[in-house]
């Protein structure tokens, strides 16, 4: 079953839309013997006792944490609970891969840290870190988190324990919402006309990733970060590069200044910075920042203490693994003066030699992934065959920061293949595959019916062959979405796969899928208009109409055509919208020969109408807006718009 949503849901960025969830169903199950054995083997394979350097670095420079572990919004609702990770202080249970447990323990080390002279970070208040650099007159804020409430709490912790100064600049290292959405919480502490600096293309890429594909990505982000799962040893233990996402107020504030040239130098509040453009690596718009006078490099999200994604499970543009490896080579040379390396997720790396090794080994991991995928691809291997065979050399694989906590090499090998050849493997059987429901019915019938398939899947489950069991049960569930026994066994199967995986995102996908199978889709709260409006009002007018164009139902439009004019009286903007052949064509200015109707309104009122907060009919009735021509033209236009579905099923038909 699918349900509709209003236009506002499409205007949420993927990361920003994760809100408090309720109604999730969890089975009280534990690890099977196969899972216990698999996790016990991990303890033997990795250097848990001999390499504890991360714990030294993650605690170095600690100053203080909040006395009150609860960060709340203005209504008193909890946005972030610093005490929720207390359970991670014990040894790894059977229900969590020990390597992932170690990773989650490190990310749970929260508070204010001094990374270098004049450079501080608040970690563990959100998915990402926020960095504060002491300028001549105030604080430069780098990557102000996802939510305004957590960003404000981080700033308050800083000024309480270090120095009470205003904010003199905000810098976004890249175009992902968990590094910019909290700007609304600290911008009021900024000096007049302070710069907001970002890499070139920041706003365009933020819109492309988080708005155009917003509804689908938002739904998948729920799985990605395990939003319906509680922090618990049987459910969510982290997100691979942080504890999770804060659930507060998202507010995108556009940059006032962009950096486009590699090696460009700026002096911001007396602090000299050198920028390395790395767009196309971890994000389509991104830079690293060197501080030559401080001996520090901010490597953004290009070298976190985990392998990253070439293609994210939540969905995004596929990334360039070759470019990524080359950017890390350039960073090694460009920032060779650095004694401290800070990251957007995780803890610093200290000392020049350690930094060089850290960057070199991560560079080699991305290069190996790229080169070996291409080698196998050019030898005729398909993306699935490559994924089954890709394996890092032991010298790289045993480095903790190359472990697949967030990105996985098997998943990424398929992404490299996609980057060059797309998802099609050349086999004509995949040119026009059957829909999952149709294929499910035919497979089940061919295998002797539902009971036969279930029995085979149960035998596979009992043998610890969970991947095969899940493939059988997925066919069975999609052949009959009402088969409760199949759904419950598939949920049990996903649960064991989640308990075994080293990848936090895979765990979240498995366990969120299990909850959906047992209890249905966890619904997003209805009122997300505050977040939606925060993004909506930051968009260029063309982007707003680009979004509307993706919601047109051509069957509703039929053979009808319209030419509509929009006059945004507060901005002096004029827009022409032509509707024909099932599409909307945006043109700047009133450039058509004639119009069916023209709406004169402030852009603010138009956007409030689009979010459903203040209907345009009321503005027209009050005289705050007016229509020239046929008013029924706008009613016809509105009737063609079908809002996106924001809570669609994923693991069931």
How do residues 536-570 score in pLDDT, each as one tens digit? 777 889 989 998 999 999 999 999 999 999 999 99
Is residue 644 a contact partner of residue 215, using CB atoms and an 8 Å limit? Answer: yes
Q: What is the pLDDT of residues 255-307, one digit of tens each?
A: 999 999 999 999 999 999 999 999 999 999 999 999 999 999 999 999 999 99
Asked if 509 and 313 touch (Cβ cutoff 8 Å), the reply is: yes
Residue 526 confidence (pLDDT): 39
What local confidence, expressed as pLDDT, does residue 534 receive?
60
pLDDT over 80 (residue 611): no
| pLDDT band, very low/low/confident/very high, at 226 (cuts 50, 70, 90) | very high
Residue among 146, 382, 353 nearest 244 (CA): 146
Q: What percent of the chain has pLDDT over 70?
A: 94
- The phi, psi pair for 600, rounded to 5°, reads -110, 120
Predicted confidence band of residue 531 (pLDDT cuts 50, 70, 90): low
Q: How confident is the model at residue 21 (pLDDT cuts 50, 70, 90)?
A: very low
Buried b (16+ CB within 10 A) or exposed e, 361-377: bbbbbbbbbbebbbebb
Among residues 86, 431, 16, 360, the alpha carbon closest in space to that of 230 is found at 86
CA dist 586 and 601 (Å) reads 18
User: Strand ranges (DSSP E) for 339-385?
Assistant: 340-342, 349-350
Least confident of 215-229, 438-452, 590-604: 215-229
Q: Is the pLDDT of residue 5 over 60?
A: no
Q: How far apart are CA 244 and CA 235, in angstroms?
A: 13
DSSP string covering 579-637, please? Answer: EETTEEEEEESS-SS--SEEEEE-HHHHHHHHTTSS-HHHHHHHTSSEEEE-THHHHHH
| CB of 627 closer than 8 Å to CB of 599 | yes
Q: Is the model's pLDDT at 94 over the cut of 70? A: yes
* Rounded average pLDDT over 360-379: 98
The per-residue pLDDT for range 371-392, each reduced to its tens digit, is 999 999 999 999 999 999 999 9
Mean pLDDT of 194-212: 89
Q: Which SS3 state, helix, strand or coil, does residue 576 take?
A: strand
Mean predicted lDDT score pLDDT of the chain: 92
Residue-wise pLDDT tens digits, 468-491: 999 999 999 999 999 999 999 999
Nearest to 331 by CA among 395, 267, 275: 275
- Average pLDDT value for residue range 396-407: 98
Angle 505-511-512 from CA coordinates, rounded to 5° = 85
pLDDT computed for residue 369 by the predictor: 98
Residue 27 scores a pLDDT above 50:
yes
What pLDDT sits at residue 524? 63
- Given pLDDT bands bounded at 50, 70 and 90, which one contains residue 250? confident
pLDDT digits 0-9 by tens, 499-525: 999 999 999 999 999 999 999 997 764
How high is the pLDDT of residue 384?
95
Q: What is the pLDDT of residues 318-353, one digit of tens each?
A: 999 999 999 999 999 999 999 999 999 999 999 999
Question: Is the pLDDT reported for residue 162 higher than 70?
Answer: yes
Distance CA 189, CA 168 (A): 9
Q: What are phi and psi of 389, to 5 degrees?
A: -115, -10
């Amino acid at each position: 079953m699918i349900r509709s949503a209003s236009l506002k849901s499409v205007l949420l960025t993927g990361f920003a839309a994760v809100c408090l969830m309720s109604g999730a169903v969890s089975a009280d199950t534990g690890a099977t013997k196969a899972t216990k054995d698999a996790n016990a083997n991990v303890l033997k394979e990795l250097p848990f006792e001999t390499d504890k350097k991360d714990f030294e670095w993650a605690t170095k420079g600690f100053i203080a944490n909040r006395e009150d572990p609860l960060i709340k919004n203005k209504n008193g609702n909890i946005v972030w609970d610093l005490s929720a990770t207390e359970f991670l202080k014990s040894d790894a249970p059977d229900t969590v891969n020990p390597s992932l447990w170690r990773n989650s323990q490190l990310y749970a080390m929260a508070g204010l840290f001094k990374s270098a002279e004049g450079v501080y970070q608040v970690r563990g208040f959100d998915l990402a870190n926020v960095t504060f650099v002491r300028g001549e007159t105030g604080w430069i804020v780098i990557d102000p988190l996802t939510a305004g409430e957590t960003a404000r709490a981080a700033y308050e912790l800083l000024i309480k324990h270090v120095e009470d100064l205003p904010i003199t600049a905000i810098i976004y290292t890249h175009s992902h919402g968990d590094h910019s959405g909290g700007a609304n919480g600290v911008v009021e502490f900024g000096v007049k006309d302070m710069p907001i600096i970002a890499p070139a293309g920041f706003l365009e890429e933020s819109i492309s990733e988080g708005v155009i594909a917003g509804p689908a990505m938002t739904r998948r982000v729920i799985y990605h970060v395990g939003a319906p799962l509680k922090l618990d040893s049987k459910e969510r233990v982290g997100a691979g590069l942080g504890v999770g996402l804060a659930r507060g107020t998202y507010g995108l504030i556009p940059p006032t200044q962009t950096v486009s040239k590699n090696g460009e130098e700026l002096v911001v509040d007396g602090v000299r910075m050198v920028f390395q453009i790395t767009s196309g690596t971890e994000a389509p718009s991104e830079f690293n920042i060197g501080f030559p006078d401080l001996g520090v490099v901010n490597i953004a999200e290009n070298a976190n203490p985990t392998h990253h994604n070439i293609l994210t499970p939540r969905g995004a543009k596929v990334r360039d693994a070759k470019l990524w490896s080359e950017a890390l080579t350039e960073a090694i040379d460009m920032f060779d003066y650095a004694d401290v390396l800070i990251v957007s997720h995780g803890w610093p790396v200290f000392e020049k030699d350690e930094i060089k090794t850290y960057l070199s080994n991560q560079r080699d991991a991305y290069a190996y992934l790229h080169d070996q995928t291409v080698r196998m691809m050019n030898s005729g291997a398909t993306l699935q065959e490559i994924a089954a065979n890709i394996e890092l050399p032991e010298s790289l694989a045993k480095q903790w920061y190359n472990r697949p906590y967030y990105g996985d090499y098997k998943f990424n090998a398929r992404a490299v293949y996609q980057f060059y050849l797309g998802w099609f493997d050349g086999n004509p059987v995949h040119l026009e595959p059957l829909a999952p429901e149709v294929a499910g019915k035919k497979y089940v019938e061919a295998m002797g019916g539902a009971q036969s398939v279930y029995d085979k899947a149960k035998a596979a489950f009992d043998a610890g062959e969970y991947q095969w069991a899940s493939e059988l049960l997925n066919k069975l569930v999609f052949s009959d979405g009402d088969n409760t026994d199949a759904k419950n066994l598939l949920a049990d199967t996903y649960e064991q796969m989640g308990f075994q995986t080293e990848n936090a995102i895979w765990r979240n996908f498995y366990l969120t899928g299990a909850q959906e199978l047992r209890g249905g889709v966890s619904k997003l709260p209805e009122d997300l208009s505050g977040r939606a409006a925060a993004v909506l009002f930051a968009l260029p007018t063309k982007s707003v109409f680009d979004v509307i164009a993706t919601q047109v139902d051509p069957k509703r439009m039929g053979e009808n055509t319209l030419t509509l004019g929009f006059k945004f009286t507060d901005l002096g903007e004029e827009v022409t919208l032509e509707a024909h052949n099932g599409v909307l064509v945006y043109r700047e200015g009133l450039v058509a020969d004639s119009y069916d109707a023209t709406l004169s309104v402030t852009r603010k009122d138009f956007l409030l109408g689009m979010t459903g907060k203040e209907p345009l009919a009321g503005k027209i009735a009050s005289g705050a807006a007016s229509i020239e021509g046929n008013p029924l033209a706008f009613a016809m236009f509105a009737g063609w718009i079908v809002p996106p579905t924001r809570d669609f099923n994923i693991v069931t038909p």
